[in-house]
């Protein structure tokens, strides 16, 4: 049986990843300091004898006993609300945390999978974004702690690959949504859904013409797994290339939630990207992966989950 260590394992994406890896027959250890993660996300996994949890901050020393075949580094605040509240912890997760987890991978001769982000492209000047695009990032802006932490993580992963021959994988994750998102995490999906379900004004920042592409969580974790099992070492975009304006998205959620909410507009935050859409040609060709869940289907499932919880 193969063994996987998932940092950030009690978070939104991390918990789904732990669940998927268990279903694929791996033994999984989740690690989280619970700054933004929640044990409720993995409580149902505790019944499995192949699952364990360690409370630990990845920016501190990591000790893992026994065999490890895969190290998946997903620990970091990820929403603008979270990483702007905790910029230093975010930078530590991307620097010290990446260094520590790469050290585990090196010592255990394990594959290393990094959760990077579309934020490495900043406010892009090209659309859609290819992996060869170097980005347009403000390193000292309010989003800089997250953006630069991930860019440094990528550089460090590639350095370990080139110098120490660690088998590294870099997933550039685009906007992902689905069950287990924190309702107060500040990102557009839970924000709009909570406002719509409570018939409160749906708040759009800017004129609503900025675009995003939204990937359902089950599609994302399948893409991560295929990248993990591949022989690719350079970055790969994992996301849904179907692009929507934020205004279109607000109307869609309002309809699905059967909401009476009005749509209101507020000032666009500093460095907020105007366009965000992945070119997934590489994932399609090399991983034979592309998303399957349509936006309406995924949003209906997410709205249903938030209603229940």
Place of tokens 């290339």: 241
Exposed e or buried b for every residue in 205-224, given b needs 16+ CB within 10 A?
eeebebbbbbbbbbbbbbbb
Which two three-digit tokens encode residue 167?
């088998």
Catalytic residue among 146, 177, 216, 225, which? Answer: 146
Helix (H, G, I), strand (E, B) or coil at 188: helix
Which two three-digit tokens encode residue 309?
């919880």
DSSP β-bridge partners for residue 169: 113
Q: Are 174 and 215 in contact (CB under 8 A)?
A: yes
What are 281-288's contacts with CB under 8 Å, separation 24+?
281/130, 282/131, 282/236, 282/237, 283/223, 283/226, 283/227, 283/236, 283/237, 283/238, 286/230, 286/232, 286/236, 287/223, 287/226, 287/227, 287/230, 287/232, 287/236, 288/226
Helix (H, G, I), strand (E, B) or coil at 297: helix
146 catalytic? Reply is yes
Burial of 174: CB neighbours in 10 Å, binned 0-12, 13-18, 19+:
buried
The catalytic site residues sit at 146
């Amino acid at each position: 049986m193969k063994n996987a260590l998932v940092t950030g394992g009690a978070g939104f994406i991390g918990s789904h990843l732990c669940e998927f890896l268990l279903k694929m027959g791996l033994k999984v250890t989740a690690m989280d300091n619970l700054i933004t993660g929640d044990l409720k996300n993995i409580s149902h996994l505790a019944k499995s004898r192949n699952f364990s949890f360690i409370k630990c901050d990845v920016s501190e020393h990591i000790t893992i006993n026994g065999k490890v075949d895969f190290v998946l580094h997903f620990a970091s605040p990820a929403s603008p609300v979270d990483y702007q509240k905790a910029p230093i912890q975010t930078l530590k997760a991307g620097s010290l945390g990446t260094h520590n987890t790469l050290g585990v991978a090196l010592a255990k001769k394990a594959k290393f999978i990094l959760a990077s982000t579309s934020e490495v492209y900043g406010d892009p000047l090209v659309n859609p974004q290819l992996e060869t695009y170097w980005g347009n990032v403000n390193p000292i802006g309010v989003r800089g702690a997250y953006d630069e932490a991930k860019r440094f993580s990528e550089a460090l992963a590639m350095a370990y690959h080139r110098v120490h021959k660690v088998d590294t994988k870099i997933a550039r994750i685009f906007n992902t949504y689905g069950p287990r998102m924190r309702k107060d995490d500040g990102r557009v999906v839970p924000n709009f859904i909570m406002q719509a379900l409570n018939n409160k004004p749906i708040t759009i920042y800017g004129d609503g013409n900025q675009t995003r592409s939204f990937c359902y969580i089950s599609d994302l974790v399948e893409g991560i797994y295929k990248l993990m099992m591949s022989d690719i070492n350079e970055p790969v975009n994992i996301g849904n290339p179907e692009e929507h304006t934020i205004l279109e998205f607000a109307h869609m959620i309002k309809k699905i939630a059967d909401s009476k909410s009005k749509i209101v507009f507020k000032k666009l935050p500093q460095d907020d990207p105007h366009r965000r859409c992945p070119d997934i040609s590489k994932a399609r060709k090399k991983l034979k992966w592309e998303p399957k869940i349509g936006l309406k289907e995924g949003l209906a499932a997410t709205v249903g989950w938030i209603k229940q919880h």
